Amino acid sequence: MQLHLSSLPGGRLGPEAFAFVDWLAEAGQAWWQLLPLGPPDEHGSPYKSVSAFAAWRGWLAEPDAPVCEEEIAAFRARQGFWLDEWGRFAGARAVADQVRFDREWGALRRHARERGVWLLGDVPIYVAPGSCDHLAHPELFRPGAVAGAPPDDFNPEGQHWGNPLYDWPALRRRRYRWWVERLRRTFELFDAVRIDHFRGFVAYWAVPEEAASAREGSWKRGPGRAVFDAVRAQMGELAVVAEDLGAITKPVTRLRRELGFPGMVVLQFAFDPDDPRGPHRLENHERHSVAYTGTHDTDTLRGWWEGARQEQRAGAAAALRAAGLEGDEPWWSLLRLAHTSPADLAMVQAQDVLGLGSHARMNRPGTEGGNWGWRLEPGALTAERAARLRDSTQTAGRVST
């Protein structure tokens, strides 16, 4: 199930995070997917964090818990690549806060493993402008251009993200060590990771720094598999989910398959009448993939249904009839349909289990205000909800008991 720490009733680690793991186990769910854990930006986005390595102090259940010098020394010995840079950037107590986070997160992860629940993290491909990483390693980023996306039917001017772009030749000369250490730290915290904007490793859209519009950008060649080969040489095989949504070319799909990474399919994209052969249509799902009801960037299932065009609803209704899943709550029927996907893993959003509408949406891409703030109401995830989700999961053959 997808649920960020910020969406727990208290928005942090501690008893409520442990209780959510217990609820997942009761509901027959094996994976908890979270968003990036770094300090969010001023709009609450975890995708423009000031650190690619450090966790946010705001997650701590006990932010004033004592930390001894021996703990700090041991942590620094393990995390020396990035920790001192973060301490200089974030201030005097920043290092101790990372020790506190490791302590609390480690306890949660052990509890999850005991309950048969695995943790899936999220790695944004880019770092934030002016972040600790950007300032500490200017030699790894190319001047004069920033990240973005080209124009499309939804964004005629393209998307001007503004993130610094990697100087891939400079990273190659250093054997991609920054990326090796970044993923090493990520896999210390999670059992598997989703890599955002995977297509950027094949080709990325570079926008001139002073450009008024992303329309002025151009495609540049990425490093391909070299980054992942360097990481594998240090760490072995990688449990990675490649975010391959949007305009994906054959070279992107080829690289993903060569690396053995599952891609993503999203049920909300399955009923586009203009894309009858699209990868998101249930009949086109690959087994080696992850099927989502929606993502943090889409509406909830109920919100999607209530706002869908007539032809989209008709396509969804036909798919539900064919699967024998019609019901009074179409959004719940769609969740059950996602469970029938041949994909190895089906991932649902907590909002969809609760049948919530668009007010519970996590993010609206392209807007800066009003995002990332949704939280569970205390007690919303009841035993009845767990039993209902477990029944759907078990009926689809996705849980053994």
* Residue 184: DSSP 8-state: H
State the helix-helix crossing angle for 15-26 and 383-395, rounded to 10 degrees. 40
Q: CA distances (Å), 128 to each of 318, 368, 396, in order? A: 43, 15, 41
Could you please report the per-residue DSSP string of 342-387? Answer: SSSEEE-BHHHHTT--GGG----TT--SS-S---PPTT-S-HHHHH
Question: Is the per-residue pLDDT at 401 higher than 80?
Answer: no
Within a domain: 106: no
Cα 179-82-194 angle, rounded to 5 deg: 40
Percentage of the chain beyond pLDDT 90 is: 93
Is residue 5 situated within a structural domain? no
Per-residue pLDDT tens over the stretch 349-372 = 999 999 999 999 999 987 878 999
Instruction: Provide the annotated active-site residues.
Output: 196, 243, 297
In a domain, 7, yes or no: no
Total tally of structural domains belonging to the chain: 1
User: 308 is written with which tokens?
Assistant: 């869908």
Report the 10 Å Cβ neighbour count for 303.
21
What is each CA distance from 344 to 32, 290, 401, in whole angstroms? 15, 6, 18
Mean per-residue pLDDT for 332-336? Answer: 97
On whether residue 201 sits in a domain, the answer given is yes
**What does residue 73 show for φ and ψ, rounded to 5 degrees?**
-65, -40
d(C-alpha 4, C-alpha 264), whole Å: 19
- 104: which 2 tokens? 């609390």
For the CA atoms of the chain, what is the radius of gyration? 21
Which residues fall within 8 angstroms of residue 177, CB to CB, at 6 or more apart? 81
Q: Is residue 356 part of a domain?
A: no
List C-alpha distances in Å: 2 to 5, 33, 234, 346, 383: 10, 5, 30, 11, 18
Whole-angstrom Cα distance, residue 294 to residue 281?
14
101 in any annotated domain: no
Q: Which helix (H) or strand (E) holds 331?
A: helix 330-339
Longest dimension (CA), the chain: 63
Residue 154 has a pLDDT of: 66
């190895």: which residue's tokens?
Answer: 344
pLDDT-derived band at 232 (thresholds 50, 70, 90) equals very high
The 10s digit of each residue's pLDDT in 23-58 is 999 999 999 999 999 999 999 999 999 999 999 999
Please name which of 145, 124, 258, 128 lies closest in space to residue 195, comparing C-alpha atoms: 124
Beta bridge partners of 207: 146
Domain range spanning residue 174? 137-238+252-260
- Domain membership flag for residue 163: yes
At 367 the pLDDT is 81
Is 211 within the bounds of a domain? yes
DSSP SS3 for 14: coil
Per-residue pLDDT band for 247 (boundaries 50, 70, 90) equals confident
CB atoms near residue 11 (< 10 Å) = 15
